[in-house]
Structure 1
Amino acid sequence: MLNDVEAVQAQLSIVDHTRNVKRTISKSISLETLNATSTEEVIGVVNTAYSASGDLKVILRETGNGSDKKRFVEIWNNDAVILACKDVTDIHGIFYADAFFDSLCFSHSEKYIIYVAEKKKPTEANSFEKFKYTQPFGEALIGKSTPVLFLFDWKTKQLVSLEHDVPVWFGQALFGPFSDNKIYATGYETASDEKLLGIRSCYNRPTGIWEFTIACSATETPDANFWNCSVLKLTESHLSCRSPRVITSNGKSTLLWISQPTGGAHGATASLRSLDITSSVDPSQTQTLVDAVWEPEAEGRFPGLYLSDSLPRMTHVHWGEGDYIVTSTTWGSRLTIVLISLLDGTVKELTPLTGEEPLLSWPAILAAKGNKFVCVRSSFTSPPELMLGELDTAGTVSWKLIHKVAMSEQLQTRLDSLTIKIVPIPNQYPTETILVQHKSALQVQKILPCITLPHGGPHGASTVTFSPSTCFLALEGYTVSIPNYPGSTGYGEKHIRALIGQCGTLDVDSCVESVRHLVKTGVASEGRGKLLLVGGSHGGFLSGHLIGQYPDLFTSAALFNPVISVGEISISDIQDWYFSEFAIDYPLSSLPLGYTGSSTSLKAVVPPRLVTPEVYSKLYRASPIAYVDKVTASVLLLVGEADQRVAPTQGIGYYHALKALRTDSPDDVEMLVFPGEGHSLEGVEASKVSWLRIAEWFRRVTI
């Protein structure tokens, strides 16, 4: 939070390897002295939000464990006095604080709080309702299947659920301007066969922006536990829309949101849409402030918007005579801060490349107010720092470092021994690779073993943002190459769509060309123990292809939750991926513009998408499993037992297939399976064990 007393309240996550837990620290930092005025560990806090005035704070808190777990909604003032506390344990399930559903905020009058929680599940013994199937929201959202919007009047302690009459789940809600009875939210829908597709990192889902109108009030229904609302869909069925934000300035209120095509690539180039909601709402008057970019006008020019799950909650800045939003976006192999005019959509980069080391990346805007904003920056070899940006009347930004992670002198020296650069790959424009090298090896022209580390997605990107795991590999004595192959975001929509229908060929060829270029330029060399691979998800898919299609090139590989057999999709939360990425039609659409729930005009019925023998044959040929008999590299598999994105059976099946073919060298294949871990293997113990084992695994072939 950025408040009027020139202070920043920040929360930092730290990893405690002794207890195998992640801990959260809260710091108040004075912008005048740049010193922390208070530091404390946050325990039991699920989510926090401040009122617009900064006078009030709401906390969603959980205490206890298992059957003794309790949930509370608390309101505090700036004097650390608790003004209201309500026990909501028996009213609903877990709080939602993830990026997709998080809605915690105050109303305009600061009387009401809105938040999202899991609907209370039936507990009656022998009740069939208790066992009724409800679809989950997929990977990383375990335990979340029936989100409900709740409204809390903290002065009367009345808590009501907001009921509606549409087949939609709502999140990312916020109040409209100057009123407590208007709410704008992102609505999540099923596909037309009632399949609920996973939403994490997938921005092509049937989603839209909706307006809620609340007809009731606490004075009219003081004992009610729910209020009925009328709803109106503001976006079109062929667009996947999310992250509503309301900007009010000079008597005008504008609703903003992110828009991408529904269906197709899960990470297409975004557009920024706007709608004037000052006096009334007319969806037909929606404007496109920033459109998708097919191809940058020239090298280094704006490639389009590539945003994370949502816009910053506090994104509005004002300088000169204009209003703007500030956000972070992928731009090539880095994240950068851009300023977007609400008048004409002009995009201005505030953190361009300077040509100086280190290469900086700016992954997040945390808060903005007036002409100031707080953001995060890092480089590949330096941890995240908090920065304060301030715009002058000419639109020039000045920067002030307000928090830096403390490191030991020994660790800082080791990180400083690495150098980072972005290397274009000849004849592959705009493909490039991030190269991490040892300065000492460069000085004596020593060629170290090279690890190629392709990112997942495939419609994501690797950037020069700080990466502890990659630094670890480099400090173990390797050169690390991280290619942004065709399909990667940050280079224009043309580069993304180039991969559709060519997964397993174009992306594989691009990775091989990046390796050959490094060999040709003396950065890497061929031979036993010289070229290695690490990849997860689609990066694991690529690594599996590379060791199968080029068995004489790579000596060893480590694969995290890899896609091995594309035709085997039964438990994946993103079944459309296995069709769309390989140019097999998987149509998606959402409810129509203007839908209110009273119309029978629902989405067109599309037959269920089945993997027919013909489809399976095509997908099999595009899969790493088709080349398993060619693999000679040693292979380490790391599998999350609770992965909902790529079935654990993919990695497990690959392990057994390799074992069956390696009767003469069984020790060249190994698998670690982590109970309770999902697709990212991001648990403290799982992450530590994985990377330590990878280092040991590669040491077997490089020493």
Structure 2
Amino acid sequence: MSTETYDELTAVPVPTAAFLHDHVIQAHFSIIDHGRNVKRTISKSISLDSLTATPSEEVIDVVNTAYSASGKLKAILREAGDEKEKKRLVEIWNNDSILLACKDVSDVHGIFYADAFFDSLCFSDSEKYITYVAEKKKPTEKNSFEKFKYSQPFGEGLVGKYTPVLFLFDWQTDRLVSLDYDAPVWFGQALFGPSSDDKIFATGYETASDERLLGIKSCYNRPTGIWELIIAHDEKNTTDADSLKCHVSKLTASHLSCRSPRVVSSNGESTLLWVSQPTGGAHGATSALHSLDITSSVDTVWEPAEGDFPGLYLLDSGLPRTPYVHWGEGDYIVTPTNWGSRFTIVLISLYDGTVKELTPVVDEKLMSWSAIMATKENKLVCVRSSLTNPFELVLGDLGASGSVSWNVVHKAVLSEQLQSRLNSLTVKIVSIPNRFPTETILIQDKAALQDHKILPCISIPHGGPHGANVVSFSAPVCFLALEGYTVSLPNYTGSTGYGEKYIRALIGQCGQLDVGDCIESVRHLVKIGAAKEGRGNLLLAGGSHGGFLLGHLIGQYPEVFTSAVFRNPVISAGEISTSDIQDWYFSEFGLDYPLSSLPLGYTGPSTASKVAIPPRIVTPEVYSKLYHASPIAHIHKVTASVLLLIGDSDQRVAPTQGINYYHALKALRTNSPDDIEMLIFPGEGHPLEGVEASKVVWLRTAKWFNGEAV
């Protein structure tokens, strides 16, 4: 096994942000430094005239960056120093790298928020103000009741974030104020209204009816809405106040979960756009695109015809921060969306909502377009990759005649040996007969195919369940393929990118329909000669709901699979007490868990509030249904070797689920206890994405499948 191969694959720079200026792209990349066991951020300036890049510079202590609309100003949120002497600074720079303002906000609030859900760093149109979100300062006085008041976190992936506060900074007068309002809601994804310093649009996050704050990462069915905040003019000029009163009003209905507000302006007119999904039910339903009058510009697609647009499926951040482009005679927005087993870029008309795919599959490379980093007029900066081609930064130019041209402006530099090894792999998408829309991404070794050699096959179902495996570059998947395995990445019924009909088909059928699709994927690969039966030939890996599927597959089909590697798996769906998404265990299994948010037009505590909903409790009847739908019901039939990889700080799936599974298997496997192993990762959450943790996870996975003991 080559540790060097893993290190080089995972050290490929990943584009994280880009800013498009007249002749230059300023790009940020995340890289993994295995020597220091950290993730680093580097910056490059790429000339559009010569397509040459400046040497990489490490970005130190910067939490977030935003440019003004003119490109003349840059705002930076910076955290410097160690935890005991942490300094938080808000900086304004001009494009000559001159520092215009610097404010120390260390004593004003806690950590800055720069995640996809709350990131609000932006300039007003006048470029006089910026807004951002940070954690409310915690009380420090001794014996304070407020210090111990119950505050709920926002769940998995948002550690340390309990009470977000929206701040307004007038950098010319050095005045920083928090925005105060009368509504039970937290704001994020904020941006200024057009030609205004006093109007802000934002996504509002609410609790469920029992005041439970459900986890929001990868969950788009939460009580959320689009809100308008108007700063009170009579308080704007009060120089000694540390907060400003805002009048708030909700713009969206309670049955829709809305997020990602964006303002686009053209020909003197401005439109507010956002995306929505039904409140409650599937965590990842098809999105609809709305405009300010709350009519859908792009509606949910129920069952697309073959090859047709399947609907919008966006990531946590929603629409690109600057989605507007002008092309020919029309005005459009552009966005990446999950379309089957890849991400593609679609162009959506602001006139009639028609959708055009800009990046169809044109060759065998199966490129996936995972992000739009920046747009300006008729240009856009995108990220694309495939399972054999690491991430590239690409500039798109929308021609006046309706054409589009793409130019690679940055690509990763790999060693000749690694590039040659990646070129030795072939990738294709295989449809599973009689199980539409089920398909699997198949990664195989070309030489083995030429020699008619069938390699051991690792099937890796995705989590969610409303997520998708896509053909984007994945260092762990490539690593396993280069270690001498065929890798299968199935998309079962319920996966995103195929239409709303197939999202909802899985509701109430978890543990049956998805399991059936996965076993039929394996059987089809055996039938076409891509895999074979027998000990050591059919293997499984997966996390979260993917781990749920693994538990079912080795329990329901013990004669088929030799070995399985679980990452923070759902093993017993009735055990939900510490999960940040307790509704998942009800709604995905066909049990009622109604959610709603504050009504359209809500302006404060004097207006109507939410409808009262009885609490959802795991009764004996509910537990019985969830138990029988869970892998734990099949544990007595498991014969495969099992490796469990558990993060002890997982807020999404209780670590005790995997730990209890380990002990139960040990009790049952008295004759071969070495076939069961578990690694615990202190401080790691659901994704197991720390540099050291991730490396151990995948190196141990490869060793486990090779039959190597610790």
TM bin (shorter chain)? over 0.9
Unaligned segments of structure 1, at least 5 residues: 276-284
Q: In structure 2, give the amino acid aligned to 1:578.
A: Y
Out of 350, 357, 360, which is 1:342 matched to? 350
Partner of 2:109: 92
2:706 aligned counterpart, secondary structure: helix
Judge conservation of contact 1:29–1:38 (CA < 8 Å) in 2.
Answer: no
Alignment of 1:14-413 (within 5 A): 14-216=31-233, 220-275=237-292, 285-296=293-304, 298-309=305-316, 310-354=318-362, 356-413=363-420
- What's the CA shift for 1:228? 0.1
1:576 aligned counterpart, secondary structure: helix
**Alignment partners' CA distance in 2, 1:77 and 1:4:** 13
Unaligned segments of structure 2, at least 5 residues: 1-17
- What's the CA shift for 1:353? 1.3
Alignment of 1:457-476 (within 5 A): 457-476=464-483
Judge conservation of contact 2:19–2:27 (CA < 8 Å) in 1.
Answer: no
- What's the CA shift for 1:567? 0.2
Structure 1 residues 693 and 17 mapped into 2: Cα distance closer, same or farther (>3 Å)? Answer: same
Partner of 2:508: 501
Out of 555, 563, 571, which is 1:548 matched to? 555
> Can you list the C-alpha shifts for 1:376-407, whole angstroms capped at 9, x where unaligned?
00001111100000111232210111000010
State the TM-score, normalized to the length of structure 1: 0.97
> Can you list the C-alpha shifts for 1:636-665, whole angstroms capped at 9, x where unaligned?
000001000000001001000001111111
User: After TM superposition, where is structure 1 displaced by more than 6 Å over at least 4 residues in a row?
Assistant: none
1:547 aligned counterpart, secondary structure: helix
> Can you list the C-alpha shifts for 1:181-230, whole angstroms capped at 9, x where unaligned?
00000000000110100000000000000000011378721111100000
1:386 aligned counterpart, secondary structure: strand
**Alignment partners' CA distance in 2, 1:683 and 1:200:** 17
Partner of 1:699: 706
Q: In structure 2, give the amino acid aligned to 1:311.
A: L
1:67 aligned counterpart, secondary structure: coil
- What's the CA shift for 1:505? 0.5
1:93 aligned counterpart, secondary structure: strand
Judge conservation of contact 1:216–1:228 (CA < 8 Å) in 2.
Answer: no
- What's the CA shift for 1:133? 1.1
2:479 aligned counterpart, secondary structure: helix
Q: In structure 1, give the amino acid aligned to 2:314.
A: L
Out of 646, 651, 660, which is 2:658 matched to? 651
State the TM-score, normalized to the length of structure 2: 0.96
> Can you list the C-alpha shifts for 1:516-547, whole angstroms capped at 9, x where unaligned?
00011111110100100000000000001100
**Alignment partners' CA distance in 2, 1:494 and 1:330:** 16
- What's the CA shift for 1:561? 0.1
**Alignment partners' CA distance in 2, 1:228 and 1:81:** 33
Judge conservation of contact 1:528–1:701 (CA < 8 Å) in 2.
Answer: no
- What's the CA shift for 1:132? 1.4
Does residue 449 (structure 1) correspond to residue 419 (structure 2)? The answer is no
> Can you list the C-alpha shifts for 1:546-583, whole angstroms capped at 9, x where unaligned?
00000000000000000000000000000000000010
2:345 aligned counterpart, secondary structure: strand
Judge conservation of contact 2:118–2:188 (CA < 8 Å) in 1.
Answer: yes
- What's the CA shift for 1:4? 4.1
Partner of 1:281: none
Out of 439, 447, 471, which is 1:440 matched to? 447
Alignment of 1:585-624 (within 5 A): 585-624=592-631
Partner of 1:670: 677
Does residue 9 (structure 1) correspond to residue 37 (structure 2)? The answer is no
**Alignment partners' CA distance in 2, 1:430 and 1:614:** 33
- What's the CA shift for 1:599? 3.1
Structure 1 residues 636 and 3 mapped into 2: Cα distance closer, same or farther (>3 Å)? Answer: closer
1:644 aligned counterpart, secondary structure: coil
Judge conservation of contact 1:60–1:73 (CA < 8 Å) in 2.
Answer: yes
**Alignment partners' CA distance in 2, 1:3 and 1:204:** 33
CA RMSD of aligned residues (A): 1.1
**Alignment partners' CA distance in 2, 1:493 and 1:500:** 11
- What's the CA shift for 1:160? 0.3
- What's the CA shift for 1:38? 4.8
Moved more, 612-621 or 118-127: 118-127
Structure 1 residues 2 and 96 mapped into 2: Cα distance closer, same or farther (>3 Å)? Answer: closer
**Alignment partners' CA distance in 2, 1:67 and 1:303:** 50
1:228 aligned counterpart, secondary structure: strand
Partner of 1:282: none
- What's the CA shift for 1:300? 1.2
> Can you list the C-alpha shifts for 1:650-693, whole angstroms capped at 9, x where unaligned?
10010000011111111000000000100000000000001000
Judge conservation of contact 2:257–2:276 (CA < 8 Å) in 1.
Answer: yes
Judge conservation of contact 1:158–1:218 (CA < 8 Å) in 2.
Answer: no
Q: In structure 2, give the amino acid aligned to 1:362.
A: W
> Can you list the C-alpha shifts for 1:403-428, whole angstroms capped at 9, x where unaligned?
00010000001111100000000001
Judge conservation of contact 2:236–2:244 (CA < 8 Å) in 1.
Answer: no
Q: In structure 1, give the amino acid aligned to 2:464.
A: G
Count of residues in Structure 1 that have an aligned counterpart in Structure 2: 691
**Alignment partners' CA distance in 1, 2:456 and 2:581:** 36
Q: In structure 1, give the amino acid aligned to 2:378.
A: N
**Alignment partners' CA distance in 2, 1:93 and 1:536:** 33
**Alignment partners' CA distance in 2, 1:39 and 1:175:** 33
Partner of 2:692: 685
**Alignment partners' CA distance in 2, 1:225 and 1:114:** 15
**Alignment partners' CA distance in 2, 1:615 and 1:250:** 56
- What's the CA shift for 1:66? 1.4
1:378 aligned counterpart, secondary structure: strand
> Can you list the C-alpha shifts for 1:67-99, whole angstroms capped at 9, x where unaligned?
211100000011111000000000000000000
Q: In structure 1, give the amino acid aligned to 2:474.
A: S
Judge conservation of contact 1:556–1:701 (CA < 8 Å) in 2.
Answer: no
| Identity across the alignment (%) | 74
2:521 aligned counterpart, secondary structure: helix
2:54 aligned counterpart, secondary structure: strand
- What's the CA shift for 1:153? 0.3
**Alignment partners' CA distance in 1, 2:55 and 2:249:** 45
Judge conservation of contact 1:555–1:701 (CA < 8 Å) in 2.
Answer: no
